[in-house]
Amino acid sequence: MKTRDFPWRWQKSLVIFDLESKSMFKKVVIIGFGLIGGSIALSIKKNRLAKELVAWDTDQDCLKKGSELNMIDGFAENIKSASEGADLIVLSVPLAEMRGVLEQIDLQDQIITDVGSVKGSFVKDVEKVFTKVPPRLIPGHPIAGSEKKGMRASEANMFEGHSVILTPNEESDKVALDKVSKFWSRIGCKISLMSAEDHDAILAKTSHLPHLLSSLISESMYDEPDRSGALAHAAGSFRDMSRISASDPAIWADIFLSNDLKLIESLDRFLVRLENMKNNIASGNHSEVKTFLERGKTVRDHFSSITKEL
């Protein structure tokens, strides 16, 4: 059994780390202490990246629990006080809440990054609050997560071996970009740099559309007259295809609507392929059906070979 299967047994042991050793930052503040925020906190502790680690969340109880478990060193009552004196702020709140959080930050010379799944909408929120993207604000998105939710599902090794996409612009501070890159590298991520537009186009195809389709597979059973009976006989295909549909609906509704244009483009291309496949099956075109399945297997095999973990 891997340690990630029972996180609460080992989280208390994180207190043994000497945070004064090899710390990249004096004070790191995590705004939003759910699954991703909690996992970042555990990763910071594990890798000794901060002398002081503070969090803020609307749920004060989860902050108290995180403090009791030594996931964080303390927590703030509000965002403004949390951001004071920080040299790194990590924004880990839902996209719909991002602008409200940005408006409460006491912007000084802190380095700021985020973990949002859509970069275009985040940049627009930043520009509406600060007029332009501050040079020391580096948008980011770690390509890792879980269908689970809440800080109780946090994992210290969630980001290890995964990619993080950073989307700086021409005015981004090079020192800030370097520190954010090193921060994620120390956590175990591989760094990719691209524009916010390219990020959103790629994620629409590789994350947002797959999630939509997973939810569609599950939702198609919602009105099934004998849903329990059908699901009792469902095999691994339904289990694997529907897994990510267990994710937080509110968060994913925000993602879909924040990246609506790119998602619709991907969905339109998918619908053309789906209609073609429907016609090939209806006409009994074995050759085209087999070719379709072979192409799908080729892509999956390629994906498995480059991720080395599936």
Cα 192 from Cα 36, distance rounded (Å): 19
Q: Is the pLDDT of residue 82 over 80?
A: yes
Same domain assignment for residues 30 and 71: yes
Domain shared by 112 and 138, yes or no: yes
- Region 191-204: mean pLDDT is 97
Tell me, yes or no, whether 149 and 7 share the same domain: yes
Residues 290, 249, single domain; the answer is yes
> Same domain, yes or no, for 151 and 263?
no
- 3-state DSSP assignment of residue 300: helix
| Same domain membership, residue 153 and residue 21 | yes
Q: How distant is the alpha carbon of residue 229 from its chain centre?
A: 35
Same domain, 176 and 204: no
**CATH number for the domain that contains residue 274:** 1.10.3660.10
Q: Which two tokens stand for residue 5?
A: 């299967």
Tokens of 309: 């973990």
Average pLDDT over residues 148-152: 85
pLDDT band at 89 (very low <50, low <70, confident <90, very high): very high
Q: Could you tell me the two tokens for 135?
A: 């040079």
Do 204 and 186 share a structural domain?
no
Examine the pLDDT at 235 and tell me if it is beyond 50: yes
DSSP string, 137-187: EE-EEES---S--SGGG--TTTTTT-EEEE---TT--HHHHHHHHHHHHHH
Q: Considering the entire predicted model, what is its pTM?
A: 0.87
Q: Which domain holds residue 13?
A: 3-194
Same domain, 154 and 9: yes
| Domain co-membership, 235 together with 252 | yes
- CATH number of 131's domain: 3.40.50.720
The fraction of the chain above a pLDDT of 70, given in percent, is 92
- Whether residue 32 sits in one domain with residue 173: yes
**Same domain assignment for residues 143 and 100:** yes
* pLDDT at residue 193 is higher than 80: yes
**Into how many domains does the chain fold?**
2
Q: 244 with 211: CB under 8 angstroms?
A: yes
**Residue for token digits 């990510």?**
244
**Residue finishing a domain among 194, 222, 247:** 194
Domain termination site, one of 153, 179, 194: 194
* Residue that is last in its domain, among 175, 194, 213: 194
Q: What is the pLDDT of residues 240-284, one digit of tens each?
A: 999 999 999 999 999 999 999 999 999 999 999 999 999 999 999
User: What's the pLDDT tens digit per position in 47-70?
Assistant: 999 999 999 999 999 999 999 999
Burial of 304 (0-12, 13-18, 19+ CB in 10 A): exposed
